[in-house]
Amino acid sequence: MSTLEIREIMDRIPHRYPFLLVDRVIDLVPGRRVVAIKNVTMNEPFFQGHFPGAPVMPGVLVIEALAQAGAVLLLSDIPDRASKLVYFTGIDAARFRRPVVPGDQIRLTMDVLKLRSRTCKMRGTAEVGGELVAEAEIMSALVER
């Protein structure tokens, strides 16, 4: 089991404010699984317009957070990761179970289903307080930067 703090996450993926959606990795099994955390606060820039007076994290950003967690997993084993990017190439079976709101802490879990040299398919779940809020199968490709 490996854990990663924010600086180590930023060493692995290129995302930065306001689009870095993974705050901490609490479990990393190379080539198999990652469990990460996203703390959702009222300071998120998207809450300004989604929705005024009733803030809800856009579902597409919950899926993006899952994809970023998956990218951390894929790039953790690659020695020349600074020269690589992980592109999100597809999504299947996405479901949204309940809204994510300020104050929630999302637990992002990505499990590898298929891993090839340049492509990967993972199953992701997002939970708040042990309750499923979103799930999807996400496909990615490893490309040169």
The pLDDT assigned to 53 comes to 95
**Within 10 Å of residue 67's Cβ, how many Cβ atoms?**
25
Average pLDDT over residues 55-83: 95
pLDDT digits (tens, 9 = 90+) for 28-62: 999 999 999 999 999 999 999 999 999 999 999 99
The pLDDT assigned to 117 comes to 87
pLDDT digits (tens, 9 = 90+) for 96-139: 999 999 999 999 999 999 999 899 999 999 999 999 999 999 99
Q: Where are the domains of the chain?
A: 6-144
Taking 80 as the threshold, does the pLDDT of residue 1 lie above it? Answer: no
Cα–Cα distance list, 103 to 38, 64, 87, 123, 128 (Å): 11, 19, 29, 25, 10
Decide yes or no: CATH 3.10.129.10 for domain 6-144: yes
Point out the residues that are catalytic: 50
pLDDT band at 82 (very low <50, low <70, confident <90, very high): confident
